Every structure is written in structure tokens, then in C-alpha cells.
Chains A and B, each alone.
Chain A
Amino acid sequence: EVQLVQSGAEVKKPGESLKISCKGSGYSFTSYWIGWVRQMPGKGLEWMGIIYPGDSDTRYSPSFQGQVTISADKSISTAYLQWSSLKASDTAMYYCARHLGAALDYWGQGTLVTVSS
């Protein structure tokens, strides 16, 4: 069974750093792109970027380039999304999902990130 399990909810202060994770199982983790999607409170879905864990090739949406870093450790089948300096506007639910061609077929349960002073 394909599963993506994300790390738990986080509460951070502005300016702090954060790294959240997404662990894949039940399939060849290195053979599929993993994407990250943001959903701000009460809003729609935003495609942030993708990574190919096999060689760590990474692509970002122009809206998120320079704002976050996507990485992966294929030895432990885990992808990451990180911030070096959080802002209140980063408060959102973040989902990882597996890319099947152009679509996202399996999704993690989401990680809620709250940034507040």
C-alpha cells in the first residue's frame, strides 16, 4: 500500500527555521517525483514545487522560489520542505503528494504550520 506520512503540526515564531518531512512507503521512493502543496486557511491549493528523490532534481514554482527549500534523503525515503526564516504568512497546511505523470495520486495527511508571535 502506497503511503506518505508527514511530520506533526508545528507552532513557530516569526524568524525561526523549520523543516517538515514526508516519508514514503509501499513503492519505489526514488522512481516518482514528490510534490509539495500549500493550503492557507480557508483558501485553495497552491503547487509549490517538486523533487525527484532518485537524483534530487528539484523544480520550484516561481511564487515559492527562494522562499522555501525542497530536499530529499533517498536512504530513508523521506522528502523535506524547509524554511530558513518563517513569516506569519507561512501559516498554512502543507501537503506532500506523489506525482503520477502530471497528477498527484497519493497524498500525505498534511502538516499544519502555525507562525505566530
Chain B
Amino acid sequence: EIVMTQSPATLSVSPGERATLSCRASQSVSSNLAWYQQKPGQAPRLLIYGASTRATGIPARFSGSGSGTEFTLTISSLQSEDFAVYYCQQYNNWQGTFGQGTKLEIK
């Protein structure tokens, strides 16, 4: 099973600043990597797929990069609605796994 490790577990950032979240795979997943945002009491929302493609309706301040085993989600200028938990997820050989999540909190 491919293990996804996210860092940091918690990230404190001020509104308007940039946030950088990391995700590492235990083996190469090529570009089969997605990012999700989850707010309390809500289902997750797809932000990025294919490592770098924004999903429909996702603001341009969200960007994804990386391939193989190292991936990054960047939020360029944090808005109040961006404070949430973020998960990465890989899908390879008919199996998917999520990272443990990064909680993005207001500094």
C-alpha cells in the first residue's frame, strides 16, 4: 500500500499570506495526485487533480505542483474561507490512499 505523508500537521498563517502544504508518497504515483479541502460538518471538496489541474470552480489562488513522490499545494493569498483541513490522495493500480491531513488555521 502506498503511504501518503502530509506536512505539517498544523499550519498557522495570517489572512493574505501564502500557505504551502506538502505531501509525500512512499513510492512514485506519477501525477495521480489530488488535493481536497474539508470544512467542519461538510463533505470534502476536490481542489486539484492530476497534481496540478484545478477542479471546476476552484479559485486561481489554489495551485498544485509536483510529480512522482513530492507534491505541494500552494494557496497564494489566504482568504477567511480557506481555513480548513486539506488532504492529498493518490490513486494507483486500483488502490487509493489519503494523507492524514493538514489543518490550516488562522494565525
0/1 string, B1-33, CB within 8 A of A gives 1: 100000000000000000000000000000011
B-side contacts of A50, CB under 8 Å: 94, 96
Q: How many residues of B contact A (CB 8 A)?
A: 26
Residue of B whose beta carbon sits closest to that of A4: B43
Q: Which B residues are CB-close (under 8 A) to A101?
A: 32, 49-50, 91
In the bound assembly, the distance between CA atoms of A101 and B36 in angstroms comes to 15
Residues of B within 8 A of A97 (CB): 44
> A35 CA to B96 CA in the complex, in Å?
10
- Give Cα A12–Cα B100 distance, bound, in whole angstroms: 28
Question: Contact residue range for chain A?
Answer: 20 to 34
* Alpha-carbon distance between A59 and B93 when the two chains are bound, in angstroms: 10
Checking B1, B49, B94 against A105 with a beta-carbon cut-off of 8 angstroms, the contacting residue is: B49
Name B50's contact: one of A46, A59, A102, A109 (CB within 8 Å). A102
Interface code B85-107, partner A: CB below 8 Å = 1, 0 otherwise?
Answer: 00101111011111111000000
B43 touches A107 (CB 8 A): yes
Instruction: Determine whether A27 belongs to the interface, using a CB cutoff of 8 Å to chain B.
Output: no
Chain A residues with Cβ below 8 Å from B1 are 61-63
CB neighbours (8 Å) of B34 from chain A are 102-104
Asked whether B49 lies within 8 Å of A100 as measured between CB atoms, the reply is: yes
Tell me, rounded to whole Å, the shortest Cβ–Cβ distance linking B54 to chain A: 11
Please list 10 pairs of residues, one from A and one from B, whose beta carbons are closer than 8 Å in the complex, sorted by A's number: A37-B98, A45-B44, A59-B94, A99-B91, A100-B46, A100-B49, A101-B32, A103-B89, A104-B34, A107-B45
Listed in ascending order, the chain B residues whose CB lies under 8 Å from chain A are 1, 32-34, 36, 38, 43-46, 49-50, 55, 87, 89-92, 94-101
Interface residues of A (CB under 8 A from B): 35, 37, 44-47, 50, 59, 61-63, 95, 97, 99-105, 107-110
